[in-house]
Amino acid sequence: NAKKVADCLGIQHFALDVSKEFEKEIIEYFKNSYENGETPNPCMMCNKLIKWGILFDYAINTLGADFVATGHYANIKEVDGYYKLYPASDEHKDQLYFLFLLSQKKLSKTLFPLHSYKKSEVKELAIKYNLPPKSSKESQDICFIKPPMTIKKFLASFLQEKQGNFIEKRTGKILGKHDGFWQYTIGQRKGIGLAAPEALYVVGIEPQSNTVYVGYKNELFIDKLKLNNICWSYPQTKTEFEAFVKIRYNMDFVKSKIVVVDDGVYIYFSEPVSALTKGQACVIYDVKDKHLLGGGII
């Protein structure tokens, strides 16, 4: 599609093969995360290491480009000497959550031309100008796992089934058997296959012992969190402030108190949040206009 669009517009198209790097940096990270009982976010790492890593450096340093433009739904503004990321007009497609790992250097040479458009308007423009991607399908959640392949089948191709225990977290009682901890994620309710008076959820995973801990919905909620590996989008001067927080992409903003300490950040949620998942990102937004402040891997 990229080649066809370039031909259509009469501009040059360069191809760079980064399949080996993608295998090493993204697919291996994905596999290793599941092996360690985490639920990874490959898009976030791909943005940092591939799109704004190898491809960005090739465009700027080798091709001599002044800027790199991408189709992400976000908006960049230079404010007080820093490049800050603001939500796009199409709030349903907003992608700030996946961009918190980008440095000021990368943001200074980045353009997001779609920030003022809704997805439907972009499709209308593609049809109007007869651009090749006009009939493209929505991109997959995980680009390297395409139907009929599923995440579970993909994981099964390198993680062997091994029987382990479902353990009730509150009592330590064994409730049943499963075929591998990697088939489950925190907050999962369907597909557990255990009989109980009320719905059971996955509340913990222990890869070393191949144990999946289950419990009831109220056991999924937490009211505070510590991030050890915080990455600020630009320098923060306050050590204590209010902000909006997300602990996964498809959730509502939760107002929280942020306390910066020497070895990380404490986050105190104004209301309990559920299904905190190791390997996912906790992203922090400005409480006034929801521009990106930073984040960290849980």
Q: Which two tokens stand for residue 12?
A: 């040059």
Beta bridge partners of 215: 201
Options 8, 43, 143, 282, the catalytic residue: 143
Residue count (the chain):
298
Q: Which two tokens stand for residue 55?
A: 């491809």
Q: Which two tokens stand for residue 175?
A: 């409730």
Options 43, 46, 231, 282, the catalytic residue: 46
Is residue 143 annotated as a catalytic residue, yes or no? yes
Residues 6 or more apart whose Cβ sits within 8 Å of residue 274: 187, 217, 220, 221, 222
Residue with tokens 């012992």: 209
Cα 205 to Cα 45: distance, rounded to the nearest angstrom: 23
Q: Rg of the chain's alpha carbons, rounded to an integer?
A: 21
Phi-psi region of 193 (alpha: psi -120 to 50; beta: other; left: phi over 0): left
- Work out the burial of residue 58: count CB atoms within 10 Å of its CB; fewer than 13 is exposed, 13-18 middle, 19 or more buried: middle
Cα 201 to Cα 213: distance, rounded to the nearest angstrom: 8
Cα 29 to Cα 89: distance, rounded to the nearest angstrom: 32
Residues 6 or more apart whose Cβ sits within 8 Å of residue 81: none
Helix (H) or strand (E) holding 169: none
**Cα–chain-centroid distance for residue 37?**
17
Cα 230 to Cα 148: distance, rounded to the nearest angstrom: 37
**Cα–chain-centroid distance for residue 182?**
19
Is residue 231 annotated as a catalytic residue, yes or no? no
Active site residues: 46, 143
